[in-house]
Structure 1
Amino acid sequence: MKTSKFYLSTLREAPSEAVIASHKLMLRAGITRKLGNGLYTYLPLGVRSLYKLEQIIREELDESGALEFKSTVIVPGEIWKESGRWETMGPQMLKAKNRGEQDMVVSPTAEEAYTAIVRDGLDSYKQLPVNLYQINTKYRDEIRPRYGVMRGREFIMMDAYSMHATQESLDETYEEYAKAYHKIFKRLGLKIIPVKADSGAMGGSGSEEFMVESPIGDDTLIICPKCGYAANAEKAACAQDNPPSVKTDAAPEEVATPNVFSIEDMEKFFNASPKTFIKALIYKATNCALDLTKVPGCEKWERVKDPAGDYYPTAFFCVLIRGDLDANEAKLAGLVKASEVELAEPEEVVAMSGASHGFVGPRKVNCPIIADLSIMTAKEDGTFEAQIHDAIAGAGKDGFHVKHIEPGRDFVPYMAADVRLAKEGDKCACCGETFYQKKGNELGHIFKLGQKYTKSMKVTFLAENGKPATPTMGCYGIGVDRTLASIIEANNDDHGIIWPMTVAPFQVCIVPIRYEGAMKEEADKIYEALKAAGIEVLLDDRNERPGVKFADMELIGIPLRITVGDKNLPNVEFKPRSAEKAELVPASEAAKKAEEFVKAELARLNG
């Protein structure tokens, strides 16, 4: 391709809204252009890299045994009502009505569509497993789209789904996807950190994220340097470090604390360690699927009947955790089977506890108590064992705290579970080593969904024993746009992008100082030789100053540049994009040397 036939649209400066490297460089290099808030168009240069990335994903998934399908982007709202997510998915789901007043959805994800499609043709266990993937457009109405395609509203995803007759079959496919992901990201030149993760709104049990380290990452990774344990902070568990404490027979004693609101205030007032405090927090849960009908305090809460499972649109819980620790809202949401949880509003806190935030206590609450493992643990017989004794907590009325609190004597929780936010400095539960943390971006995610969708959408098949059975499902995704942006984040310098050979829009560029005379003749010879060898080459035949041509080629990041100048002929400059200096090679050998360079780089990444 010659630049005179190609739409090359570079910018000297990035728009002020672009604050991260990939966003700046994708705009400056003419990879993308902004069409609207959170909406980006791929220009011809970007399309070439985008399609190469998609092809790598296709090749590895095809090799693993998955089959490609393509769902519609607009899907009937009815199937979302079947699954129970019509209301629970929240405002990020864009809904519409067609001219027949039928509810429609602009797909934010495709579990429902896949399940409905397979359900209609599934009769026998002999048809299972069904393992399909697609690379398709999605839309989520992000409240704050940012970082260009890293977090846009419309985006491209590879999402795959599998349906199985047995858990063992699901486990096998789950592992095949994990292997394929490692191969995909290796071919893209990305160093991936697989981490245990929260399943979030997708549901299910087993879940693993494929993260790339990034200073602007949305996720915090908790990592053990010794045994390799790695988890998203939303999921990470750590070793319990409850200090020794002695049970007391002293009765609870209220203490007036009119200006004591925070844990820091309590430390100063009581002259005690925060490890002796019980922190009580009132949380509001949205769309909670627990059955709380027999739990004191929940009798009057609204409970919605739904084919996918009854739920409470709003429920409240009092979380108890040691004073020096923080609650993990993602763990809590998963524990109470809610679409989200958040700290209750001040008036809700008073309604549920009789006191303002800061004075809430475990003895006087009107909602179920969830005790973190730093407070109590559950025993096999269904009872609880205290992990803290003689504690200090809120008294349940403003301006007062209470001393000599004994868990089990002074309160009994609804449940005890790990709702602690693990952090750097905590100890690994596997080997005891100290955790460290780093920021990361999620590029891929794999889930074991179980029967969440097949049950709610009434999918059945005739099992081997001749009886109807419900299949189990897996779900697997890769964010295509953010993977492309992450490649740029990991491969750039002050001059522009440094593409890995596997996804570069062109593999070689030829830059004649002037496209005339002997320079034109040699540039054309090299160009034709490379094309004949199957190398993707861009010949810069523009009537521009050499500095402009060099700056553009470095900005768009083509892995190898061959410069043809009259001062060096019969030699030409041979410069890999990542090299500091160019070397001179005979013009007659340049095409062959470039071909070898390209093939060696492809072999290194694809091998």
Structure 2
Amino acid sequence: MRWTRLHVPTLRHDSADVTSPSHRLLLRGGFIRQLMAGHYSLLPLAVRVRSKIVEVIRQEMNRIGAQEFLLPGMHPAEIWRRSGRWEIMGQEMFRLTDRRGADLALGMTHEEIFTLLAAEISTYKALPQAWYQFQTKFRDEPRPKAGLLRTREFTMKDSYSFDLTDAGLDESFERHRGAYQRIFTRLGISAIPVDASSGSMGGSNSTEFMSPTESGEDFVVHCAACGYAANIEKAVSVPAAAAEATGPGEVEHFATPDVHSIDDLASAFGIPADQQIKTLVYVLDDQLTIILLRGDHQLSEQKLLDLTGTLAARPAHADEVAAALGAAPGSLGAVGVTGVPVLADEVLRGRAHLVTGANRDGYHLRGVDIARDIVVDRWADLREAADGEGCVRCGQPLGLLKAVEVGHIFKLGRRYTELLDATVLDAEGQRVPIVMGSYGIGVERALAAIVEAHHDEKGIVWPRVVAPFEICIVMTAMNDPEVVKTGERLYEELLEAGVDVILDDRDERAGVKFSDAELVGFPLRITVGKRRLADGEVEITERASGDTRAVKLADVLAAVTA
């Protein structure tokens, strides 16, 4: 490819509203342009990178025996209603109506549609199966940002395994885990496999592959000592011990004017947060519910959803709270409360001499004994793990890493096959539901994650396997016939040898060409200039290291292929 025939609209300055490195560099390097929030056009350079990412993924999926499909991106509402997810997906699902009035959806994912196809399998002898596709997904993200890291329209490689037994699913899951680890290694993405919640996907077990980056929106709880890792939504930890509390042997009211938070009570009355009970009120599937935590801990909403199996959850509105408990947030508690379910975090079990709201504005209670004074309907781990808390496996301090999810694998089990009648006859002639797994990689997000991990102050540093071109030949003097002749000859020789090469044949200053080559991120640059040509040489520069060496013209092909 010649640069003069390629659309590469590089920019000299960063956009003011861009924060993540990948977003900034993909815009400046002429890879992407935004159409509207969460929707990006991929320009020729990005299409080349994307195709190479897709090919790496395809090779590894084929390696584990998966077969490629291509399913529709628009789905009838009925199939989503049968699975129960038409309501669960909420506002993130793009919905529309056709000219006949039929409800349709733009596919967020394809579990239901693949399950319909699997329902045509009649006998266990046809199992196991592994199917995959590359298809556009649509999700009405409330806050699309960071360029390709969080969009509303993107390509996903989604694959699905179909087995007769749970043991078979375990094997399929591990095959996919191995394939994902190879994929991310080949792409140059550092991806930590972590325990995760299955969320709206359902199922018994899931693993996320998280790539550390300051641009990420997720947090990974990680133990450097033993390797334990989990999404913060799922992570468990050993909390710091609370100080020994003292106080009256009975519950006492005391006035707390202008106190509206845990911190207010700590600063105004000297009561440490770990000796307070944090009272939250949520609506879970239309049921008002009280959640109790230690005052210095944060609620993991995903743990709450996973525990209760709730389809819809939200914090209660102020009027709902006042109607049920008689007070505003800041003075709430569960002492003496009846008729409202109470869920409590395990860390509170057995605690006494605590302080909580009195369900009367401007008042609190002290001397609260959880076992004596509060009726807890259910105990569970409901809190977020925190930086520095103990690892549940080895006791060493945990760390928090910001990261972006680049892959997610699920053990779905029989959830979809039971609902959608995907069954087979087993060896005894009994009809049994197929056991499913689901496995996803966001292609454009992987592209952005590569840039997040491989860039410097000059621009992108693409790993060779995904670079838009492996080599850029820069001719520094377009008015010199020998420079142009040599550059053209090297270009043809490299093309003939199967090297992915671009020839910068623009009539620009050498400095502009060098800057663009570094910004775009070609792994190797061959510089053809007057001075070196006088000695029968060109320069080869490695983008990653910046190392430059002189190479004889006769040795160029051997040097670059090595």
TM (norm. structure 2) is 0.95
Partners of 2:511 and 2:88 in 1: how far apart? Answer: 56
Partners of 1:146 and 1:344 in 2: how far apart? Answer: 28
Q: Secondary structure at the match of 2:466?
A: coil
- Counterpart in the other structure of 1:303: none
2:347 to 366, 374, 377: 374
Cα drift, residue 130 of structure 1: 2.4
Cα drift, residue 127 of structure 1: 2.1
Q: Deviations over 1:60-109 (max 9, x none)?
A: 11101221111111111110111111122011111111122211111111
Q: Deviations over 1:174-209 (max 9, x none)?
A: 111111111001101121111111212212221111
Q: How does 1:394-543 map to 2 (within 5 A)?
A: 394-515=357-478, 516-543=480-507
- Counterpart in the other structure of 2:260: 261
Amino acid at match of 1:511: V
Asked whether the 8 Å contact 2:222–2:399 carries over to 1, the reply is yes
Partners of 1:244 and 1:464 in 2: how far apart? Answer: 61
- Counterpart in the other structure of 2:313: 341
Asked whether the 8 Å contact 1:235–1:330 carries over to 2, the reply is yes
Q: Let me know the Cα RMSD of the aligned residues.
A: 1.9
CA pair 272-542 structure 1, distance change in 2 beyond 3 A: closer
Cα drift, residue 249 of structure 1: 9.7
The percentage of aligned residue pairs carrying the same residue is 40
Asked whether the 8 Å contact 1:530–1:595 carries over to 2, the reply is no
Partners of 1:416 and 1:334 in 2: how far apart? Answer: 14
CA pair 335-528 structure 1, distance change in 2 beyond 3 A: same
Please tell me whether residue 152 in structure 1 is matched to residue 151 in structure 2: yes
- Counterpart in the other structure of 1:29: 29
Q: Deviations over 1:335-361 (max 9, x none)?
A: 111245332111111223222112211
- Counterpart in the other structure of 1:576: 542
Cα drift, residue 491 of structure 1: 1.1
Please tell me whether residue 112 in structure 1 is matched to residue 112 in structure 2: yes
Partners of 1:509 and 1:265 in 2: how far apart? Answer: 62
Partners of 1:63 and 1:91 in 2: how far apart? Answer: 37
Asked whether the 8 Å contact 2:289–2:342 carries over to 1, the reply is yes
Asked whether the 8 Å contact 1:329–1:342 carries over to 2, the reply is no
Q: How does 1:2-401 map to 2 (within 5 A)?
A: 2-119=2-119, 121-243=120-242, 250-268=249-267, 270-285=269-284, 312=285, 314-363=286-335, 364=337, 366-376=339-349, 387-401=350-364
Amino acid at match of 2:277: I
Partners of 1:531 and 1:360 in 2: how far apart? Answer: 73
Q: Deviations over 1:36-58 (max 9, x none)?
A: 22111111111111000000000
Partners of 1:90 and 1:337 in 2: how far apart? Answer: 16
Asked whether the 8 Å contact 1:45–1:505 carries over to 2, the reply is yes
Amino acid at match of 2:359: G
Partners of 1:593 and 1:465 in 2: how far apart? Answer: 63
Cα drift, residue 240 of structure 1: 4.9
Cα drift, residue 243 of structure 1: 4.4
Please tell me whether residue 587 in structure 1 is matched to residue 553 in structure 2: yes
Asked whether the 8 Å contact 2:8–2:31 carries over to 1, the reply is no
Cα drift, residue 150 of structure 1: 1.3
- Counterpart in the other structure of 2:529: 565
Amino acid at match of 1:577: R
Partners of 2:365 and 2:86 in 1: how far apart? Answer: 45
Q: Secondary structure at the match of 2:356?
A: strand
- Counterpart in the other structure of 1:551: 515
Partners of 1:153 and 1:268 in 2: how far apart? Answer: 44
Cα drift, residue 256 of structure 1: 2.8
Q: Secondary structure at the match of 2:75?
A: strand
5+ residue gaps, structure 1: 286-311, 377-386, 597-607
Partners of 2:56 and 2:201 in 1: how far apart? Answer: 26
5+ residue gaps, structure 2: none
Asked whether the 8 Å contact 1:318–1:365 carries over to 2, the reply is no
Partners of 1:9 and 1:134 in 2: how far apart? Answer: 31
Amino acid at match of 1:104: L
Cα drift, residue 465 of structure 1: 2.2
Cα drift, residue 406 of structure 1: 2.2
Partners of 1:505 and 1:410 in 2: how far apart? Answer: 66
**Paired residue total:** 558
Amino acid at match of 2:492: E
Q: Secondary structure at the match of 2:416?
A: helix
Partners of 2:267 and 2:192 in 1: how far apart? Answer: 42
Q: Secondary structure at the match of 1:422?
A: coil
Q: Secondary structure at the match of 1:374?
A: helix
- Counterpart in the other structure of 1:301: none
Asked whether the 8 Å contact 1:394–1:402 carries over to 2, the reply is yes
Q: Deviations over 1:430-469 (max 9, x none)?
A: 1111111121011001111122222222332222222221
Q: Deviations over 1:557-601 (max 9, x none)?
A: 1110111111111111111112334211111211221121xxxxx
Cα drift, residue 399 of structure 1: 2.4
CA pair 351-205 structure 1, distance change in 2 beyond 3 A: farther
Partners of 1:498 and 1:268 in 2: how far apart? Answer: 50
TM (norm. structure 1) is 0.88
Asked whether the 8 Å contact 1:372–1:419 carries over to 2, the reply is yes
Cα drift, residue 137 of structure 1: 0.5
Partners of 1:452 and 1:427 in 2: how far apart? Answer: 35
Q: Deviations over 1:220-267 (max 9, x none)?
A: 111112111111111110125554869999442222333332222333
CA pair 542-265 structure 1, distance change in 2 beyond 3 A: closer
CA pair 125-545 structure 1, distance change in 2 beyond 3 A: same
Q: Secondary structure at the match of 1:409?
A: helix
Asked whether the 8 Å contact 1:94–1:139 carries over to 2, the reply is yes
Partners of 1:273 and 1:28 in 2: how far apart? Answer: 50
